[in-house]
């Protein structure tokens, strides 16, 4: 009897084991691997930022083994031309990068997926940067960078001229006076570089108390007296005081290269230059809040990761975008690469950012955030910028006075651009 019971028990155990063997492949079925295509322009392959981005993606894949990412980096000059063709053709990458200036055009045309329901906790994001990519109440993107412009200066040239270093209270007049003294040291030195282009002009307008759009954003105000004066003074750095070199005098050299060569005293550019200048400037340099004329105004720069409306994996794509933009792992790598300002409020990340030198006056980055101005934006962004740039160049090349150029610009914008 006992033997019979033992046989029954053994049979039951074997039956259970057999069921487990046959059932286990179903219970333990490996999750399907999702491959996401990602395209971006800001993390150059050959720089620390590109290396940081690859490490971010590797960390994401380690945490999400069922998601693989195919990354393609395209140079900024060609990026938006290629992107437009892909979006029109329905072949956009699952995740792609946009700058603030172009975001509205893509969001308004239905090219982006609503990722509101896919985002988890967003409390770690800087609210200004996050809200910049909420269009008409819908969250279409997450900010992957949050940056501004500051004024870089060559401490060695200031020391040689016996000048005190620039402070956060400097104005355009201070820049001109220091430039002339430094340029008098020897031939081949230049005082300042800040071209009269759309990106610099809208900010220069703010620094002179003006605006390019009416308060309700429904009409252009390009040719107001404050704006005309700003254009005249900015063009004057090149054609009047001549503290800034012309294109011909640059000899094909870029503004960053001129600064790194030690022949440029002051340069207005973005904080994304930190890594390059740290590695390649053979002299001491620092930064200060960008000087204004009658007021302070600094760029608001923010890029975003968005999900294509045609993505077959919007949830996974949104997860990738949020990780790269706002996770502690990713923002830590961004800080270590001196790759713009992470769009987050994590105190340890901010403290880590401030601890890196040069520049010594890194606090100027955060002080500049008190004076942020945003560029005018519209669906016809590229066309609007091209019109404004064309008239600004006519001022620089002395083809039109500042007044005549901005009057003509105002008229053409009203005729061709819808707000």
CATH number of 153's domain: 3.40.190.10
Whether the CA torsion 190, 362, 302, 46 is positive or negative: it is positive
Kind plus residue range of the DSSP H or E element containing 160: helix 155-161
Calculate the alpha carbon distances from 2 to 9, 12, 161, 316 in Å. 11, 15, 106, 58
What is the three-class DSSP state of 8? helix
* Same-domain check for residues 128 and 163: no
- Cα-trace Rg, the chain: 27
What is the helix, strand, coil percentage profile of the chain, to 5?
50, 15, 35
Would you say residue 20 lies in a domain? Answer: no
Query: Which parts of 345-380 fold into alpha helices (H)?
Result: 347-355, 363-368
Which among 57, 81, 79 is positioned nearest to 70, based on CA atoms?
Answer: 57
Q: Are residues 210 and 291 in the same domain?
A: yes
Indicate if 260 and 159 belong to the same structural domain. Answer: yes
Q: Are residues 224 and 161 in the same domain?
A: yes
382 in the same domain as 233 = yes
The reply to whether 136 and 194 lie within a common domain is no
146 Cβ contact partners less than 8 Å away, ≥ 6 residues apart: 126, 128, 129, 301, 302, 340, 341, 342, 343
Q: What are the counts of helices (DSSP H) followed by strands (DSSP E) for the chain? A: 18, 13
- Give a yes or no: residue 296 inside a domain: yes
Based on the fold, state whether residues 396 and 282 are members of the same structural domain.
Answer: yes
DSSP secondary structure string for all residues of 281-315: -SS-EEEEPPPBSSS--EE-B-EEEEEBTT-S-HH
Domain assignment present for 364:
no
CA separation for the pair 341, 145 (Å, rounded): 6
Same domain membership, residue 277 and residue 133: no
Specify whether 140 is located in the same domain as 154: no
Query: Tokens 């005309």 identify what position?
Result: 228
Same domain, 214 and 74: no
CB atoms within 10 A of CB 240: 11
**pLDDT tens-digit readout, 195-245:** 999 999 999 999 999 999 999 999 999 999 999 999 999 999 999 999 999
Looking up tokens 């009416």 gives 214
Domain containing 340 equals: 34-145+301-345
Q: Is residue 154 a contact partner of residue 262, using CB atoms and an 8 Å limit?
A: yes
Segment (H or E) for 230: helix 225-239
Does 350 map to a domain? no
- How many Å apart are CA 404 and CA 5, to the nearest integer? 106
User: Residue 354 domain-assigned?
Assistant: no
* Number of domains, the chain: 2
135 contact partners, CB below 8 Å, separation of at least 6: 103, 104, 107, 108
- pTM of the full predicted structure? 0.77
Q: Tell me if 44 is assigned to some domain.
A: yes
The Cα–Cα gap between 335 and 141 comes to 21
Does residue 358 sit within a domain? no
Q: Are residues 114 and 156 in the same domain?
A: no
Residues 408 and 286 in one domain: yes
Tens digit of pLDDT at every position of the chain (419 positions): 434 444 333 344 334 333 343 344 444 445 789 999 999 998 877 667 889 999 999 999 999 999 999 999 999 889 999 999 999 999 999 999 999 889 989 999 999 999 999 998 999 998 888 998 999 999 999 999 888 999 999 999 999 999 999 999 999 999 999 999 999 999 999 999 999 999 999 999 999 999 999 999 999 999 999 999 999 999 999 999 999 999 999 999 999 999 999 999 999 999 989 989 999 999 999 999 999 999 999 987 889 999 999 999 999 999 999 999 999 999 999 988 878 788 898 999 989 889 999 999 999 998 998 898 888 989 899 999 999 999 999 999 999 999 999 999 999 999 999 99
For residue 22, the Cα-to-chain-centroid distance in whole angstroms is: 54
Q: Is residue 23 part of a domain?
A: no
């Amino acid at each position: 009897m006992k033997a019979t019971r033992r046989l029954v028990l053994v049979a039951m155990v074997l039956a259970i084991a057999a069921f487990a063997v046959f059932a286990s492949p179903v219970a333990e079925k490996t999750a399907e691997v999702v491959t996401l295509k990602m395209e971006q322009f800001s993390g150059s392959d050959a720089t620390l930022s590109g290396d940081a981005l690859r490490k971010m993606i590797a960390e994401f894949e380690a945490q999400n083994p069922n998601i693989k990412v195919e990354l393609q980096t395209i140079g900024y000059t060609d990026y938006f031309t290629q992107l437009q063709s892909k979006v029109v053709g329905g072949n956009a990458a699952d995740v792609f990068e946009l700058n603030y200036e172009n975001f509205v055009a893509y969001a308004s045309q239905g090219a982006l997926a609503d990722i509101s329901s896919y985002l988890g906790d967003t409390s770690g994001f800087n609210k200004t940067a996050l809200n910049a990519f909420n269009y008409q109440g819908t969250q279409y993107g997450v900010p992957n960078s949050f940056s501004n412009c500051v004024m870089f200066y060559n401490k060695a040239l200031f020391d040689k001229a016996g000048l005190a270093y620039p402070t956060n209270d400097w104005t355009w007049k201070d820049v001109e006076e220091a430039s002339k003294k430094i340029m008098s040291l020897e031939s081949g030195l230049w005082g300042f570089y800040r071209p009269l282009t759309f990106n610099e002009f809208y900010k220069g307008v703010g620094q002179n108390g003006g605006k390019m759009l009416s308060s309700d954003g429904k009409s252009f105000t390009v040719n107001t007296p404050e704006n005309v004066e700003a254009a005249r003074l900015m063009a004057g750095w090149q054609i009047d005081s001549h503290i800034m070199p012309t294109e011909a005098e640059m000899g094909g050299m870029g503004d960053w290269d001129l600064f790194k060569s030690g022949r440029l005293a002051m340069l207005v550019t973005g904080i994304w230059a930190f890594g390059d200048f740290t590695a390649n400037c053979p002299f001491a340099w620092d930064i200060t809040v960008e000087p204004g004329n009658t007021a302070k105004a600094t760029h608001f720069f923010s890029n975003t990761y968005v999900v294509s409306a045609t993505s077959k994996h919007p949830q996974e794509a949104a997860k990738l975008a949020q990780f790269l933009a706002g996770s502690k792992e990713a923002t830590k790598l961004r800080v270590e690469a001196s790759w713009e300002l992470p769009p987050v409020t994590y105190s340890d990340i901010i403290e880590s950012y401030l601890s890196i030198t040069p520049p010594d006056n890194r606090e100027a980055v955060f002080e500049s955030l008190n004076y942020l101005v945003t560029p005018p934006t519209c669906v016809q962004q590229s066309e609007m910028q091209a019109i404004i740039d064309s008239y600004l160049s006519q001022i620089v090349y002395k083809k039109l006075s500042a007044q005549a150029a901005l009057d003509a610009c105002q008229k053409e914008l009203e005729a061709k651009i819808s707000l």
